[in-house]
Amino acid sequence: MTIKYALLGVLSYSPRSGYAIYKSFFEPFRPKLSEVYRTLNKMVKEDLVDFDRVIQKKTPNKNVYHLTEAGRKALDKWVKEPLKFKPDRDWFLVQLWFSDELTSKEVINNIRAYSNQIEWQVQWYDTWGKKLIPKLAKMSHKPQAILNYKLTAEYGSYMK
């Protein structure tokens, strides 16, 4: 995945400056600040986002980015398409690469353990997600967004 869709997703919530977009991400998903700005510049050229220049007196001026209609359509299309499994910066694959000193049984055990973590995510979403939606609906007009954020945070804690 490119960072482009992550930036479109953040901007779908509200217009933000490049730095505010950067701060919207939590580790381990936070891109480099330079990557955020480089991608925003490309997205402006692609007419996926536009910006308003905000003049400030006590701090440097800033650009506040927002989605264009084309950007909203691109994000909607992307989130509807199931992604092919292609881990990005997945440390499991690095571990697997250097597992040549292990027995086949040990390698299979590691693969199963990793697979179990992925299956745990599916089960968590299917059980806890269904229980949390009514509670989250009272807290937000977008309870699904909160639920997805919590699941992402849980997954992120496994990646460390």
Where a domain ends, among 30, 49, 80? 80
Two structure tokens written together for 72: 């909203």
Distances (CA, A) of 70 to 21, 87, 143: 19, 28, 26
Where a domain ends, among 80, 113, 146? Answer: 80
In the prediction, which pLDDT does 77 show?
93
96 and 151 share a domain?
A: yes
> How distant is the alpha carbon of residue 94 from its chain centre?
21
Query: What pLDDT was estimated at residue 115?
Result: 87
Does a structural domain hold residue 85? no
> How far is it, in rounded angstroms, from Cα 17 to Cα 4?
15
Residue ranges, the chain, pLDDT below 50: 157-160
In a domain, 33, yes or no: yes
Q: What CATH number has the domain bearing residue 54? A: 1.10.10.10
Give how many domains the chain has, as a whole number: 2
Final residue belonging to a domain, choices 80, 101, 118: 80
Pair (76, 98) in one structural domain = no
The per-residue pLDDT for 101 is 85
Q: What's the pLDDT score for residue 158?
A: 47
pTM as predicted:
0.60
Determine the pLDDT at residue 159: 45
Range of the domain at 14: 3-80
